[in-house]
């Protein structure tokens, strides 16, 4: 496939415009450097060590993952500093983390003493030490210790445990990403980030380490980076610049780099076309996909996605799009890459619309 033109690809193919992705990556890194923040991008959008290495080469201090088996892929492929921003429970996971501590330097999030105590026991048994940060609930009402006295008490308890090293705190302002009023959004984000600032100040006053104050998803990073207490951001999806982030979160200065190439497989009527992509290829949750153009570049401004079944996408065609014929190839723009990447085995890397690389998605399916 190397050297093939985009028009020659079998479909569906999940493609990265490498030049656009690199521009997004450098833009995010520059923005964070400008605001004096470290970058620890989440890998859930790409799940690929080669892209993580590109981020580190650009200045990222490490990466963020969701699962211990996912973190293992990156640590075993030369990215030692991985924050597992999730609660780790179960002997198998804890033993996996202890082994990773012997070859890398992971950080584990916790929001309950039971989690930290179990990790402490396993680390002592294996003769390793693991870094730990506390996750604080900033309003998502998902995971995280309640801010205030509960978080302070947890910090004091974890700080005394052997085998683990308390190094900081984290929180996620994800419930505020889609606020449309920019001034209101910044005010709300700064308000919840003050919970982290308060906890940091208490920890430092009591002689505890709080070198890390981690926060910020792609949908909020351009605001979160301005908060003085935050030391690092986990925003990762901006390299693909999903339409969710651009259209619903108001992120500026990035360009979509992830697409699918699909084929028109049926034309049941003048106003309807059917593509060979469905829910097994692109997921509609969070934000729906769109079909902006043909692979030739011709715009399909009035082609509307009306239905996604397992294997098919149905388009309603306006007058400008009704000349599509069976066999035509079109561009599908995913609304949210995190839910699309996991459906595919590989990325096709394109430069100037020709295949430069094929990247198997190494951490796909790492759910433990």
Can you give the CATH number for the domain in which 340 is found? 2.40.37.20
Residues near 143 by Cβ (< 8 Å), separated by ≥ 6? Answer: 86, 87, 111, 135, 137
Three-state secondary structure of the chain: CCCCEHHHCCCCEEEEEHHHHHHHHHHHHHHHHHCCCEECCECCCCCCHHHHHHHHHHCCCCEEECCHHHHHHHHCCCCCCEEEEEECCCHHHHHHHHHHHHHCCCEEEECCHHHHHHHHHHHHHHCCCEEEEEEECCCCCCCCECCCHHHHHHHHHHHCCCCEEEEEEEECCHHHCCCCCHHHHHHHHHHHHHHHHHHHHHHHHCCCCCCEEEECCCCCHHHHCCCCCCCEECCCHHHCCCHHHHHHCCCCCCCCCEEEEEEEEEEEECCEEEECCCCCCCCCCCCCCEEEEECCCCECCCEEEEEECCCCEEEEECCCCCCCCCCCEEEEECCCCHHHHCCCCEEEEEECCEEEEEEECCCCCCCC
Domain end, chosen from 207, 239, 271, is at: 239
pLDDT of residue 198: 98
Does one domain contain both 172 and 197?
yes
Query: Which range of residues forms the domain containing residue 330?
Result: 6-13+254-360
Identify whether 62 is part of a domain: yes
Distance of CA 327 to CAs 25, 266, 336, Å? 34, 8, 26
Identify whether 289 is part of a domain: yes
Does one domain contain both 156 and 230?
yes
pLDDT digits (tens, 9 = 90+) for 171-186: 999 999 999 999 999 9
pLDDT band (50, 70, 90) for residue 137:
very high
CATH number of the domain residue 174 falls in: 3.20.20.10
Does one domain contain both 108 and 229?
yes
Does one domain contain both 309 and 212?
no
Query: How many domains are contained in the chain?
Result: 2
Identify whether 368 is part of a domain: no
pLDDT of residue 7: 97
Average pLDDT over residues 37-58: 98
The reported pTM is 0.97
Does one domain contain both 169 and 126?
yes
Does one domain contain both 174 and 235?
yes
Identify whether 123 is part of a domain: yes
pLDDT band (50, 70, 90) for residue 130:
very high
Does one domain contain both 206 and 283?
no
d(CA 262, CA 284): 16
- Chain centroid to CA 34: how far? 22
pLDDT band (50, 70, 90) for residue 121:
very high
Does one domain contain both 218 and 350?
no
Identify whether 367 is part of a domain: no
Instruction: Go through 252-272 and write b for each residue having 16 or more CB atoms within 10 A of its CB, e for each that does not.
Output: eebebbbbbbbbbbebeeeeb
pLDDT band (50, 70, 90) for residue 168:
very high
On average, the pLDDT of the chain sits at 98
Identify whether 160 is part of a domain: yes
Does one domain contain both 260 and 307?
yes
pLDDT of residue 214: 98
Does one domain contain both 208 and 269?
no
Does one domain contain both 81 and 228?
yes
pLDDT of residue 281: 97
Domain end, chosen from 214, 239, 264, is at: 239
Q: Are strands 107-110 and 290-294 parallel, antiparallel or unpaired?
A: unpaired
Does one domain contain both 88 and 180?
yes
Domain end, chosen from 189, 212, 239, is at: 239
Identify whether 30 is part of a domain: no
Structure tokens at 250: 């108001």
């Amino acid at each position: 496939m190397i050297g093939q033109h985009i028009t020659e690809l079998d479909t569906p193919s999940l493609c990265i415009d490498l030049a656009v992705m690199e521009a997004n990556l450098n833009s995010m890194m520059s923005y964070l450097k400008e605001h004096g923040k470290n970058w620890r991008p989440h890998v859930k959008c790409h799940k690929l060590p080669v892209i993580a290495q590109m981020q580190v080469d650009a200045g990222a201090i490490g990466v963020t993952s969701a699962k211990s088996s996912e973190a293992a892929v990156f640590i075993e492929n030369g990215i030692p500093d991985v924050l597992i921003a999730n609660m780790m429970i179960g002997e198998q996971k804890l033993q996996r983390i202890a082994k990773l501590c012997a070859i890398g330097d992971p950080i584990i999030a916790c929001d309950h003493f039971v989690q930290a105590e179990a990790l402490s026991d396993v680390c002592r048994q294996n003769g390793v030490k693991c870094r730990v940060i506390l996750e604080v609930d900033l309003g998502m009402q998902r995971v995280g210790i309640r801010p205030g006295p509960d978080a302070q008490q947890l910090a004091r308890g974890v700080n005394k445990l052997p085998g683990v090293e308390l190094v900081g705190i984290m929180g996620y302002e994800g419930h505020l990403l889609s606020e449309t009023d920019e001034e209101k959004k910044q005010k709300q984000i700064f308000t919840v980030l003050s919970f982290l600032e308060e906890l940091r100040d208490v920890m430092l006053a009591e002689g505890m380490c709080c070198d890390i104050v981690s926060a910020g998803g792609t949908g909020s990073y351009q605001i979160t980076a301005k908060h003085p207490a935050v030391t690092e951001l986990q925003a990762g999806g901006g390299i693909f610049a999903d339409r969710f982030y651009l259209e619903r979160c108001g992120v500026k200065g990035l360009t979509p780099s992830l697409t699918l190439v699909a084929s028109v497989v049926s034309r049941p009527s003048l106003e309807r076309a059917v593509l060979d992509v469905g829910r097994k290829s692109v997921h509609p949750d969070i934000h729906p996909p769109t079909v902006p153009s043909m692979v030739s570049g011709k715009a399909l401004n009035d082609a509307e996605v009306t239905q996604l079944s397992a294997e098919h996408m149905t388009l309603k065609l306006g007058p400008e799009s009704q000349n599509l014929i069976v066999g035509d190839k079109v561009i599908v723009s995913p609304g949210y890459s995190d839910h699309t990447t996991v459906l595919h085995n590989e990325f096709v890397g394109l430069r100037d619309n020709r295949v430069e690389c094929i990247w198997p998605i190494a951490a796909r399916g790492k759910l433990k």
